[in-house]
């Protein structure tokens, strides 16, 4: 398996399905559709929705039933970026090499575009529930998983702690909270929701949850490293911004050597979590863990 | 029936149930809980959740099953106010006589508090679905109704058009869109979701939808009138702000006489929509229509 080919193949699926589902009518509120589409089609890697599809496929052999939830997770991820980039938050001018939403549409529309993406995610997930099939319960359970990860006990909680400059909390404890909530929570939910939708057993769900937590943290630490030593062109954003903004990162607390060692440990843990699955069927998730641990962008 | 006593009684129910459900733990992200609680307990009239409870009661004799959805609707209403008040949007310093969220907590936390309230509304609604009862379908249908009203084809769409200063659209058409989407949509959904949850027939739902649309518009036109001739103290905000901000209102297009006449027409229509229901059982909704048409705050 060539992991980048496989990622590209599934990225195309997500892109074309999003194209179908994102509102685009010529109506009075078309400006909000433009702004939402601008950010959702700004060149994201589609990591989260791909994880949902691939996990679903691992369990049931098919990703069809998980498609709408996967697209919704990408909307939630995108809304969080649009709001995080706003001037009162991280005040970022560029993302993925393009001007951020508020730089193109203004702060007011960017706030509404974020709100619109979050709400559309829920509208889309709610519409996807097959009301007359016994497995409607899986959908509700999966959507609950996503909603918890997105909320004040997940991403929003993580971002809250991240933007708070000073308090008397230990840096290590604070960093762990931010990493777990801000990044890992939705990555974990992407995987777990895909598993639930496909009818995974509790044991399978638990193992996949471990996998998700491990790659989520791994992803974040690699992000911190790339912000220091990455290639600006490949990343599509300036490097060194964490240091300039005095951001709390794994690197700033534990240093480079420990960060690299932690990535290796998490990567090993992720791959071990997959041992209950068929070797061949879980190959993609294994390769993906390795890929994320070593990624350059 | 004394309408204000009845409103106060149900307001107390909503207030105390919200008190139970709004996160309040001493955790790392407690700042976001504080900010969310600040706005949700800032003295709102609780009109929307009361409508949900009362409509549910009209249909089934009980409001218990609609409680969580009612609270969630109030969270959605509150989030929209927090975001609308932000400097890049309406830039309001006061609401209900108290400093707006961003004036107390800063713009960054206010954005997150709004996001948090919207997401918590969905978490709460999703948790309320009784998975093993046949009537779980009613819940999903009611939540879909709310989610549509809250989204880009409802409130967010309305706010988008409201903040756009200039375009080539007829003022009358634009105003109708803003009124229908920005205010009426969630009021209508509050009523319709309460009816659906209680097992209303399609005919009952249609009549209540008409009622909701009529009182929603009536509420908005009355709001516009109060902004011109209301009492600053009773309203808890400055009057004349619509004119200062060159806001498109029913009053600015059609004048006072026509506005008053339109309120009377809508009020009559609202009450007529209730003719399919028992006179005594629908008394509250009738009295409420009259109350909203003549309210001073």
The mean per-residue pLDDT over the stretch A62-75 comes to 98
Which segment, A55-59, A95-99, B231-235, is predicted with the most confidence on average? A55-59
Q: What pLDDT, on a 0 to 100 scale, did the predictor assign at position B230?
A: 76
* Alpha-carbon gap, residue A270 to A132, rounded angstroms: 37
Q: What is the mean pLDDT of each run of 10 residues along chain B (297 residues)?
A: 95 98 95 98 96 98 98 98 96 92 98 98 98 92 98 97 75 90 95 98 98 96 88 72 80 93 97 96 97 89
| Lookup: tokens for B66 | 């609609």
Q: What pLDDT, on a 0 to 100 scale, did the predictor assign at position B165?
A: 66
Q: What pLDDT, on a 0 to 100 scale, did the predictor assign at position B114?
A: 98
Contact A161, B28 (CB under 8 A): yes
- pLDDT interval class at A245 (50, 70, 90): confident
Domain spanning B3-290, CATH class: mainly alpha
Q: Which residues 92-151 of chain B have a CB within 8 Å of chain A?
A: 106-109, 111-112, 114-116, 118-120, 122-123, 126-127, 129, 131, 136-137, 140, 143-144, 147-148, 150-151
- pLDDT interval class at A168 (50, 70, 90): low
Q: What pLDDT, on a 0 to 100 scale, did the predictor assign at position A227?
A: 87
Q: Which residues of A touch B106 (CB under 8 A)?
A: 88
Residue with the larger pLDDT of the pair B290 and A166 = B290
Q: Is A3-289 CATH 1.10.600.10?
A: yes
Q: What pLDDT, on a 0 to 100 scale, did the predictor assign at position A118?
A: 98
Taking CA–CA distances from A88, the nearest residue in chain B reads B108
Q: What pLDDT, on a 0 to 100 scale, did the predictor assign at position B187?
A: 98
pLDDT tens track for A217-227? 999 999 999 98
Q: Which residues 71-90 of chain A have a CB within 8 Å of chain B?
A: 79, 83, 86, 88-89
Reported pTM: 0.96
């Amino acid at each position: 398996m060539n992991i980048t080919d496989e990622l590209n193949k599934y990225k195309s699926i997500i892109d074309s399905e999003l194209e179908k589902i994102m509102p685009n009518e010529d109506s009075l509120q078309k400006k909000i559709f433009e702004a939402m589409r601008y950010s959702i089609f700004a060149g994201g890697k589609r990591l989260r929705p791909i994880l949902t599809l691939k996990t679903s496929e691992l369990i049931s052999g098919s990703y069809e039933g998980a498609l709408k939830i996967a697209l919704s997770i990408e909307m939630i991820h995108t809304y969080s970026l649009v709001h995080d980039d706003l001037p009162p938050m991280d005040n970022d001018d560029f993302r993925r090499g393009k001007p951020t939403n508020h730089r193109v549409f203004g702060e007011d529309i960017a706030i509404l575009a974020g709100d619109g993406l979050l709400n559309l995610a829920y509208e889309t997930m709610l519409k996807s529930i097959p009301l007359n099939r016994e497995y409607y319960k899986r959908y509700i359970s999966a959507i609950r998983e996503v909603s918890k990860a997105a909320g004040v006990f997940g991403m929003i909680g993580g971002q809250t702690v991240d933007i708070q400059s000073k308090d008397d909390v230990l840096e290590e404890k604070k960093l762990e909270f931010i990493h777990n909530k801000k990044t890992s929570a939705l990555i974990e939910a992407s995987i777990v929701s895909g598993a639930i939708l496909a009818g995974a057993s509790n044991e399978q769900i638990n193992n996949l949850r471990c996998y998700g937590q491990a790659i989520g943290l791994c992803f974040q630490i690699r992000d911190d490293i790339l912000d220091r030593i990455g290639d600006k062109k490949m990343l599509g954003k300036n490097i060194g911004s964490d240091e300039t903004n005095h951001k709390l990162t794994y690197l700033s607390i534990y240093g480079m050597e420990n960060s690299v060692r932690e990535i290796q440990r998490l990567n090993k843990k992720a791959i071990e979590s997959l041992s209950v699955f068929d070797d061949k069927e879980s190959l993609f998730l294994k390769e993906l863990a390795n890929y994320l641990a070593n990624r350059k962008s």
